[in-house]
Amino acid sequence: MQAKLKGLSPDQLLRFVPNESLEIRRIRVKKPAAANSGQEKRWVNLEAVAELAHQARDKGYGREDSLKQLVKNLQAGLSVAVIGPASVGKTTLINEAARRTKNIWRTSASRLIAGMGYLGMWEERCEKVVAELGQASGILAVESLAELIRQGGQDPGGSLAAFLAPYLVDGQLQMVVEATTSEWQACRRLLPGFADLFRVLPLEAMNDAEATEVLAWVRSGLRIGLDLDETLLSLFRRFSPYEALPGGAVRFLRHVGRGPKAAGLTRARLVEAFSKQSSIPEEFLLDEIGLDPDELLAQLSARVIGQPEAQQAALRIITAFKAGLQDPARPLGVLLLCGPTGVGKTELAKTLAEILFADEKRLIRLDMSEYAGAGAADRLLGSLYDKTPAPWLRELRLKPFSVVLFDEVEKAHPEVFDVLMRAFDEGQLCDPWGRVTSLRTSVLLLTSNLGAEQQNALGLRQLEGGGYSQAVLRFFRPELVNRLDAVVPFQPLSSEVVRAVARREIAQLAKRPGLKRRGLRIEASDRCLDYLARLGYDVRLGARPLQRLIERRLIPELTQLLGQEGFPSRVLVDVDGERFVLSTERA
């Protein structure tokens, strides 16, 4: 039927309708003109992946000489690469240039290929975008050069950058790209012909005077009455050396300065917000708050029991960080912790994370035995074919204030040691794509069992002649050892130390959620502590068996006790032969 009716006019179709009362009335309707309809039809592909940069909400300030140079180069038809450290203001500079030229379209490599899952789709889209840019006399601004080289194909030769290069050569496309210095160097190494198509415009970090002018301008726009620029600059200079000025400080000020309370922004609130963002306790941020070395040493001694050398090494890192005396171009500290298993090396890492960054979860741990084979250095950083950095580097970028623990470092491949030396020396790591991860606000701890085989039985001192240091010097190259702040020996645990560890482990049980919410106190008898010290320590495994003993035999007894009616306020743990005996006291 449809085939028969196809092509008939409305009057002809009416004859097939059985109801004779129907009639056709023709009404002329004028279609309203869409706003900018011509442009919408012409730039449909361009507007799907980019927007005009001059419409950016936040305006910039300063850098008039660099701005004039950028505008001059763009008006001359040149493609420009704005090169500078992260947060230096590259995006802001390009947005300001767009306000003067009105024809810069901002996008990213991921937007250019978004949704293009089939072979040839993103290439076709890019061809259309280039054509529309030509019709609009537009300039394409890409916010990350490194991403432009990564996205598209399996290697740089099949990337978006390689695809766009011929259009740049022929003058069909003009671009302005952003890159850090390391990303630019990686581009010259991976795709040198592409880098040669750009005029380089370097952008340096602002000095304090220039950054203060920018912050004052931002503060006036936010209607913040109190001059907090000096405090803010001091915080970022000292505690965020991986961020160039003024970008990070400006973003932070806009974050804390928005809302109805902006006019009442105080120094205390500013410091509190910075502490929350960085996870650095306020006592480290404020010079007027002192730290008592004796209290810190007591805190370290309570957790890293029986290891005085380790306690002192950690204390030196903490006090230097508080005083601002650490080298800003290196990590906060680099320690090699040597000793047998289970004597407190990991506990030291957790304690440093707790004291410095208010959370022992600020600990990033790597098992270096996983980096033992060929190609281990690539796996540590992320290989050329990995589009994202290695997992631990991604975590460190999210939490730049952390303790990084390289566990059993002697098991890693020798090429990994070259990577670590760069980290110790420069306080940063660069992956094959030129992406830099800063370690300058982190503590780096390496653990090793080197020299542990020379230790005697439980409770005896280290061999004469510094067995640990000699073992380290025999195994590692001198240039790596020279980049360490210290080689810290951990001694085998004496019976008294194991007893103290057992007392602490019992006390820590009260912090578990099921006991904490009941306010339950747990104590151990002397006989119980002797029993735990005897069965919970092994010369090869250290105090690790102690934790297993508590988990497997004491926790089930506590679980059964708490399942009874009523809750005790205190539990005393004793032993009878080989069995734990619990006695209770009720409030």
* Calpha distance 524→14 (Å, rounded): 98
Can you name the residues that pair with 106 across neighbouring β-strands?
51, 141
For residue 559, CA distances in Å to 172, 487, 554, 570 come to 74, 43, 9, 14
For 377, the 3-state DSSP assignment is: helix
- In this model, does residue 477 exceed pLDDT 80? yes
* Calpha distance 23→19 (Å, rounded): 10
Among 115-119, 129-133, 377-381, 450-454, name the one with the lowest average pLDDT. Answer: 450-454
* Calpha distance 324→284 (Å, rounded): 9
Given the structure tokens 């306010």, which residue do they identify? 519
Kindly report the CATH class assigned to 40-202.
alpha beta
- Asked if the bond preceding 328 is cis, omega within 30° of 0, the reply is no
Closest by CA position to 485, among listed 266, 358, 294, 332: 332
* Calpha distance 380→370 (Å, rounded): 9
Given the structure tokens 């503590």, which residue do they identify? 443
Kindly report the CATH class assigned to 293-489.
alpha beta
Bridging pattern class, strands 104-107 and 175-179: unpaired
- In this model, does residue 19 exceed pLDDT 60? no
For 348, the 3-state DSSP assignment is: helix
More confident residue, 168 or 226: 168
Assign a CATH topology to domain 495-585. Answer: Helicase, Ruva Protein; domain 3 (1.10.8)
Can you name the residues that pair with 185 across neighbouring β-strands?
none
Per CATH, 293-489 and 495-585 having the same topology is answered: no
Range from 86-90, 348-352, 374-378, 551-555 that averages highest in pLDDT:
348-352
> What pLDDT digit, counting tens, does each position of 171-196 carry?
999 999 999 999 999 999 999 999 99
* Calpha distance 424→304 (Å, rounded): 25
Domain coordinates of the chain in residue numbers?
A: 40-202, 208-278, 293-489, 495-585
pLDDT at 138: 95
According to DSSP, residue 233 is labeled H
pLDDT at 419: 94
pLDDT at 38: 44
Residue 18 pLDDT class (50, 70, 90 cuts) = low
> What pLDDT digit, counting tens, does each position of 293-334 carry?
999 999 999 999 999 999 999 999 999 999 999 898 999 999
- CB atoms inside a 10 Å sphere around CB 147: 24
Can you name the residues that pair with 445 across neighbouring β-strands?
335, 405
Residue type, 521: R
Retrieve residue 69's tokens.
Answer: 């140079």
